[in-house]
Chain A
Amino acid sequence: MSLSGTLANTPPIDSVGVAERVARFSTRSIKKTSKMEALKLALSMIDLTTLEGKDTEDKVRRLCYKARHLHVDLPDLPTVAAVCVYPTMVKVAREELNDCGVKVAAVATSFPSGQDDLSLRIRQTKGAVRHGAQEIDMVISRGRFLAGDYQYVTDEIVAVKEACGEAHLKVILETGELYTLENVRKASDIAIHAGADFIKTSTGKVQPAATMEVTLVMLEAIRDHFQETGKIVGMKPAGGISNSKIAIRYLVMLRETLGNRWLTPKLFRFGASSLANDLLMQIVKQSSGVYQSSNYFSID
């Protein structure tokens, strides 16, 4: 796939202006019904994640149970959107979730660094899909990107997308390694152009992970692409979104940048592990008027 034209449309980004816009989102005051709706929406958008070397099948099973049964007492709760694991855990996650609606996502392509032969990374992707992964979270080659080899990055995304078959492809830009918002925008344009279904900020293994500034620049890339070509691409900020207050600010940003069409787990996800319990605690507080001890929320 040729890159010509894609980067010619990439606009300059003014980081001071981006920070001001983000500050403005954060002044929105979300109360009452709108808060409850936001909390439930955020819950439904979570990719419940465990990506550690020490993960065991047992831990993944417990995570899947939690994904399906978020809270014993609360009525009308949504489930989370997906469970996100390493390729070795896809099979067990798929068994556990059966076909309950919660998707199984696998990080692939030599996550988190991406430092391997493309052929091996593609083989890993195909393996994960064969084991039942419905979504693939790939990483781009940041070294190649920073060296200016945009064509390589385009080609690797195209190749992985092909390997995904029916599975949805989320492209992780690892914005913490891209240094500037202009690079974030450029990488977003490349990923969207090359066929990403979602673009995603971070692996969670590099700091800083998701920030509102980075996410806004990526949302603007999605918007421009949508308005120029009609193609709809999703967004997944990941890492660092640990509580409800921050999550609601992201939803405000999403609503005022891309509009209501994107306010769905089909097009927006939070990559997070501890967010779910904080949302649950807030939901209980909204309905009962008091905060419960964190001991009442299971930590799987």
Chain B
Amino acid sequence: MAKKHSNKLDFDTGWHYDPAPESPELAKLKDSYDLFIDGKFVKPTSGKYFDTTSPSSQKTLAKVAEADKRDVAKAVTAARKAYEGTWSRIRPSERGKYLFRIARVIQERSRELAVTESLDGGKPIRESRDIDLPLVAAHFFYHAGWADKLSYAFPGRKVGPVGVAGQIIPWNFPLLMAAWKIAPALATGNTVVIKPAETTPLTSLKLAEILQEVDLPPGVVNILTGAGSTGECIVRHPDVDKIAFTGSTEVGKLIRKTLAGTDKRLTLELGGKAANIVFEDAALDQAVEGIVNGIFFNQGHVCCAGSRLLVQESISEKIVRKLKDRMETLVVGDPLDKNTDIGAINSKEQLKKIQGYLKVGQREGAEIFQTSCPLPKRGNWCPPTLFLNASQSHRISQEEIFGPVLAIQTFRTVDEAIEKANNTPFGLSGGVWTDKGAKAFHVSERIKAGVVWTNTFNKFDPASPFGGYKESGFGREGGRHGLEAYLNISETGGNR
């Protein structure tokens, strides 16, 4: 049946979904937020504040304090005092209790937090409600359980905390990244100075309120808002024992250079350009769903996004057709609408970067496809985009775009697929789609990446370690492996 028909499905006319928005009032925002140092909200030394705006409505949501070197010094002093005085000394089971309390209050306030996340960052409420917030609570619950069982995680060895951890997190999963950083640090007995991203500070500040609500001892967690320069002050501060950074490879390299010659410990979780490999024997319709989830989840602002699609030649036409049809049903728009699949691009700056790559891809000769979904007039939007016939040497296949843009290439043999998948400076994640178990194991063992998903994509669990190979960084977060980054582990104590 190789006959050609022009049988297009119609997703355009007729029955549509009316808007079903969550109310922005649910976020319960204050007009202005101060720095959270030593258990209290304090004004920034410089007196400077900056606006945080909604990437969809463009409205200013709140004023947020900007921390400078002096505020960082105060925060580190508070963290050191809390470390020496209470947190490294109290019973580990007490640390666990605090973490359990944090997790429970996060669950209680999850709707407020989800709405805040979508307002401030632009991600669809469906994701902040169904994915981010449940995972945030899960990370605190999981690490609460570890607090008094650390010696079982590393049998025969002696473990102790590192000290004061400086943590810098990105804007793509603001509260989730805070949880990934804070929960293991606290469970292992460290104290924290953390800086959320400039464009998405609000959920971290709400987390500060929660830390007050659960009576966490002052200074154990200090939350400083600001831009890159605030982060730099944390990295350079001499009394910080460990830096944990999630963000761009560019900044990661800079941090590593800065720390060279110091005894600060470092973990980096950086960019990615993951290949999603679809074999001809895959469950095709489910693979299409995985491709969509891999690249359009969170507007493609995902370091482990499946931003390259490698599809076997014999099914490429079919997969692309199915993919285009599926994309036509994706709703782009108001992040607070429960039916929105793809929200707003996080910032004007990021939108400009993505639009730059859209031009680059076309100039390089790849064929562009974008869906016909109408975009709102105000705000930062990018329709879901495919680049067909991309080649390995195109910049759109090599560089991290961090937007809803998928570069599609074909392959013929298993070896070719593996070679192309690994031919990148990154190594954060990968995907393999096949109905054959042996093939799935063969390929996933050979993909040089921290996580390889088989017949699924973008699945996260606090028990599963996450991290990169090559320029995607080093160190692991989550699971038993993730604890290591926050522990001094010595071989000497071992006669248990």
A34 partner residues in chain B, CB cutoff 8 A: 15-18
Whether the pair B283, A12 counts as a contact (CB closer than 8 A) is: yes
A299 partner residues in chain B, CB cutoff 8 A: none
Whether the pair A260, B10 counts as a contact (CB closer than 8 A) is: yes
Interchain CB contact (< 8 A) of B286 among A17, A41, A260: A17
> A82 to chain B: closest CB distance in Å?
21
Q: Contacting chain B: which of A106-114, A220-228, A273-281?
A: A220-228
Whether the pair A41, B15 counts as a contact (CB closer than 8 A) is: yes
Q: Which of B9, B20, B325 counts the most chain A CB atoms within 10 A?
A: B9
Question: CA separation between A230 and B11, bound complex, in Å?
Answer: 17
Are A259 and B11 CB-contacts (below 8 A) given A14-B455, A17-B456?
A: yes
Q: Does B329 contact A (CB under 8 A)?
A: yes
Main secondary structure, interface of A, reads: helix
Q: Does A120 contact B (CB under 8 A)?
A: no
> A249 to chain B: closest CB distance in Å?
12
Q: Per-position contact with B for A244-271: 1 when CB-CB < 8 Å, else 0?
A: 0000000100011011110100000000
Q: Per-position contact with A for B2-41: 1 when CB-CB < 8 Å, else 0?
A: 0101010111111111111000000000000000000000
Whether the pair B18, A31 counts as a contact (CB closer than 8 A) is: yes
Whether the pair A13, B7 counts as a contact (CB closer than 8 A) is: no
B283 partner residues in chain A, CB cutoff 8 A: 11-14, 17
Whether the pair A12, B1 counts as a contact (CB closer than 8 A) is: no
A13 partner residues in chain B, CB cutoff 8 A: 283, 285-286
Whether the pair B290, A17 counts as a contact (CB closer than 8 A) is: yes
Are A260 and B5 CB-contacts (below 8 A) given A11-B283, A14-B455, A17-B289?
A: no
Whether the pair A14, B17 counts as a contact (CB closer than 8 A) is: no
Interchain CB contact (< 8 A) of A32 among B18, B282, B435: B18
Residue of A nearest to B326 (CB): A256
> B427 to chain A: closest CB distance in Å?
26
Main secondary structure, interface of B, reads: loop
Q: Per-position contact with A for B427-440: 1 when CB-CB < 8 Å, else 0?
A: 00000000100000
Number of interface residues of B (CB under 8 A): 35
Residue of A nearest to B341 (CB): A24
Whether the pair B456, A16 counts as a contact (CB closer than 8 A) is: yes
Whether the pair B10, A261 counts as a contact (CB closer than 8 A) is: yes
Whether the pair B15, A229 counts as a contact (CB closer than 8 A) is: no
A259 partner residues in chain B, CB cutoff 8 A: 9-11, 325
B329 partner residues in chain A, CB cutoff 8 A: 255-256
Whether the pair B9, A258 counts as a contact (CB closer than 8 A) is: yes
Q: Does A116 contact B (CB under 8 A)?
A: no
Are A18 and B9 CB-contacts (below 8 A) given A38-B15, A229-B3?
A: no
Question: CA separation between A35 and B286, bound complex, in Å?
Answer: 28
B285 partner residues in chain A, CB cutoff 8 A: 11, 13, 17, 21, 220
Whether the pair B286, A230 counts as a contact (CB closer than 8 A) is: no
Q: Does B126 contact A (CB under 8 A)?
A: yes
Interchain CB contact (< 8 A) of B9 among A31, A32, A35, A261: A261
Q: Does A5 contact B (CB under 8 A)?
A: yes
Whether the pair B15, A20 counts as a contact (CB closer than 8 A) is: no
Whether the pair B456, A29 counts as a contact (CB closer than 8 A) is: no
> B3 to chain A: closest CB distance in Å?
7
**Contacts between the two chains (Cβ within 8 Å), count:** 98
Q: Does B491 contact A (CB under 8 A)?
A: no
> B440 to chain A: closest CB distance in Å?
12
B7 partner residues in chain A, CB cutoff 8 A: 226-227, 230
Are A27 and B338 CB-contacts (below 8 A) given A12-B282, A14-B283, A256-B329?
A: yes
Interchain CB contact (< 8 A) of A29 among B11, B287, B338: B338
Whether the pair B15, A29 counts as a contact (CB closer than 8 A) is: no
Question: CA separation between A255 and B329, bound complex, in Å?
Answer: 9
> B474 to chain A: closest CB distance in Å?
32
> A29 to chain B: closest CB distance in Å?
4
Are A12 and B338 CB-contacts (below 8 A) given A229-B1, A255-B15?
A: no
Question: CA separation between A5 and B5, bound complex, in Å?
Answer: 18
Q: Does B284 contact A (CB under 8 A)?
A: yes
Contact residues of A between 204 and 236, Cβ < 8 Å to B: 220, 223, 226-230
Question: CA separation between A251 and B14, bound complex, in Å?
Answer: 12
Whether the pair B15, A227 counts as a contact (CB closer than 8 A) is: no
Whether the pair B14, A260 counts as a contact (CB closer than 8 A) is: yes
Whether the pair B18, A21 counts as a contact (CB closer than 8 A) is: no
Q: Per-position contact with B for A277-289: 1 when CB-CB < 8 Å, else 0?
A: 0000000000000
Contact residues of B between 290 and 313, Cβ < 8 Å to A: 290
Question: CA separation between A38 and B321, bound complex, in Å?
Answer: 28
Q: Does A97 contact B (CB under 8 A)?
A: no
Q: Does A293 contact B (CB under 8 A)?
A: no
Q: Does B281 contact A (CB under 8 A)?
A: yes
Question: CA separation between A228 and B339, bound complex, in Å?
Answer: 31
Question: CA separation between A117 and B329, bound complex, in Å?
Answer: 46
Q: Per-position contact with B for A182-219: 1 when CB-CB < 8 Å, else 0?
A: 00000000000000000000000000000000000000
B16 partner residues in chain A, CB cutoff 8 A: 34
Question: CA separation between A260 and B20, bound complex, in Å?
Answer: 21
Q: Does B130 contact A (CB under 8 A)?
A: yes
- Nearest first, the 9 A-B pairs at minimum CB distance are A17-B286, A29-B20, A14-B283, A259-B9, A260-B14, A12-B435, A29-B338, A230-B5, A14-B286
29 pairs, CB–CB < 8 Å, chain A vs chain B: A5-B1, A11-B285, A12-B281, A13-B283, A14-B435, A14-B455, A16-B455, A16-B456, A17-B283, A17-B285, A20-B289, A21-B286, A27-B130, A29-B20, A31-B20, A34-B15, A34-B17, A34-B18, A227-B7, A228-B1, A229-B3, A230-B3, A230-B5, A230-B7, A255-B11, A256-B11, A256-B329, A259-B325, A260-B13
B-side residues, CB < 8 A to A, are 1, 3, 5, 7, 9-20, 126, 130, 281-287, 289-290, 321, 325, 329, 338-339, 435, 455-456
